[in-house]
A and B are shown apart, each in its own frame.
Chain A
Amino acid sequence: MFDTLRTLFLTALHAFHRRATVQYPEQQPYLPPRYRGRIILSRDPDGMERCVACNLCAVVCPVDCISLQKTEADGRWYPEYFRINFSRCIFCGFCEEACPTYAIQLTPDFEMGEYARHNLVYEKEDLLISGTGKYPEYSFYNVAGIPIPGKARGTSERERPPVDLHSLLP
C-alpha cells in the first residue's frame, strides 16, 4: 500500500525532470567526428583526386554497394566512374579502413532521405568534395614510389634515390 503510493509520488515527481528527448529537426544531435555517415571522396592538398581506383573498397564492401572503373591519365590512376548505392550501404566503414589513399571517408551526416530509391545512387560528382577531409596533409603520390609527371623516381618523401646497379661505388 505504502509502496504503491510512493511509486505514484515518485512518478509524479518526474514531471519536473529534464526531458530526454532531442527535438530533432530543430535541435541537432551532436555527432562525433568519427561518426559513420554519408560517404565522400576527398582530394589531396593539391586538389587532385585521391582515389586511385584500386577497387579495395568495392572488394571489402559486405553489401557490394560500391562500383567503380579504373582509368589512367598523366601516369595516375583515376576512377572513370565511382558509384555508391546508398540504399544498400550499411555504413560499416570498411571501405574507409581498406582505402590505401584516405580517399574514401565517412562523414557525420545522415540526412540523405529521398522519395525515390534511385536517387540514393550517388555518382562521383555527388561524392567528390573539394577538400581533404580528415587528413589535410596527406597526398598519396608524394609518399608512394611511383613516378608521375613532375616527380621522378626516388624523389618522394622519405624515399632514397634508386640504386644504380651498373655502378661499383658504394
Chain B
Amino acid sequence: MTYSALLTIILTPLVLLGLATVLTWVERRLLGLWQDRYGPNRVGPGGMFQAVADGTKILFKQDWIPPFADRGVFVLAPAIGMMTVLLSFAVIPLPMHAGIASDMNVGLLFILGMMGLGVYAVVLAGWSSNSKFALLGGMRAAAQMISYEVFMGLSLMGVVMMAGSFSLQDIVAAQAGLWFIIPQCLGFGVFMLAGIAETHRLPFDLPEGENELGAGFHTEYSGMKFGMFFIAEYAGIILVSSLVTTLYLGGWRGPLLPPAVWFLLKTGGMVAFFILLRASLPRPRYDQLMALGWKVLLPLSLLNVMATGTILMLRASL
C-alpha cells in the first residue's frame, strides 16, 4: 500500500465530515433563499462558520443516555449509521482515480449493501431507545427503507445493463457518449425518489416526522450521538447526490472544465435540488408513501428493466 492511498483513506472521511457539517449551513442558507429570508449570516463571512459554532455547541452538550434504553445498542446505532455512509464513499469514482476503491468490480452492489445496512442504524436506534415515538419512527424507517431499497436496486438494473458492469468506474466510462439520464430517464426518476426515501430526507422523512413523532427514531438521542445521526444524514445526501451524478449524469465527465469541477458542480446541483425538495414539498401520509412505492415505483422500475433489456437485445441482434 502506498502512502498516497493511505493518505486518501485518512483524508476522505475527514473531508466528508467537514463537507457534511458545512452542508448544514448551506441547507439553512438555501432554505432561507427560497423562503425570502437570509438564514444564518452572522458568524463569519456570510455565516460560514455557523456550522463550526453549531458543532462546538453540540460537542459540549450533555451526552445523556436514558436509563430505560438498551445501552449497548443505543450507543452502537449512530456509529452504524455514520460508518455505512462513510464506507459507501469508498467506491464513488472521483476524477483522476482519486477514490479509495473506485474500480471495485461490484462497487454498485457494495453501495446497495451499505445502504441496506444503514437501515439498521435507524431501526436499532428506534428499538433501543425503548420509547414509543422512537419505536414508531424505527418501524416506519424499517418498512420505508426496506421497500424503497427494492426498487432502488431494480431502477439501477437499467444502468448496469447498459454499462455491462457493476463497477462505477466502468459506468462512468460508458457514459462518454451520452449521459444515462436520457435513455434511463424512468430509472433516474425512480432512483431519485428512492434515494430521497433512503436518506429519509423531506418530503420522505416519515421516520422523523417531527409533527407526529417528536423526532422519530432519534427522540431519545442528545449531544453528539444525535449529532452523528444528523451528520450521517447530510453525508447521505452527498452520497446519493454523487451516486446520481455517477450513474446518470456522466460522473466527472464534461466539456471544457476540469473533471473535478464537473463532479463538484453536478453533485452540488443535486444537493441543491434535494434542499429545494425540502423547501417546497409537504410530507405525504405514511400509507401514501408505501402506496407510491409499491403501486407506482415498483411497476415503473420493472417496466424500465424490461424496456432496457428489450432494446439492448434488439440492438445486439441487429
Contact = CB atoms under 8 A, between A and B. Distances in A.
A115 B70 CA distance: 43
A15 interface: yes
A105 B281 CA distance: 49
A53 B35 CA distance: 52
Interface stretch (A19-27, A67-75, A132-140): A19-27
A138 B35 CA distance: 49
A8 B36 contact: no
A8 B33 contact: no
B186 interface: no
B276 interface: yes
Interface in A1-21: 4, 7-8, 10-12, 14-15, 17-21
B281 A14 contact: no
A163 to B, nearest CB: 70
B280 A15 contact: no
Interface string B1-37: 0000000000000000000000000000000011111
B274 to A, nearest CB: 12
Contact of A8 (B37, B38, B277): B277
A111 to B, nearest CB: 18
A19 B34 CA distance: 10
Contacts of A21: 37-38
Contacts of B36: 14, 17-20
Contact of B37 (A4, A7, A19): A19
Interface of A: 4, 7-8, 10-12, 14-15, 17-21, 23
Interface of B: 33-38, 276-277, 279-281
Given A7-B281, A12-B276, 19 more contacts: A4-B281, A7-B280, A8-B276, A8-B277, A8-B280, A8-B281, A10-B280, A11-B34, A11-B276, A14-B33, A14-B35, A14-B36, A15-B34, A17-B36, A18-B36, A19-B36, A19-B38, A21-B38, A23-B38
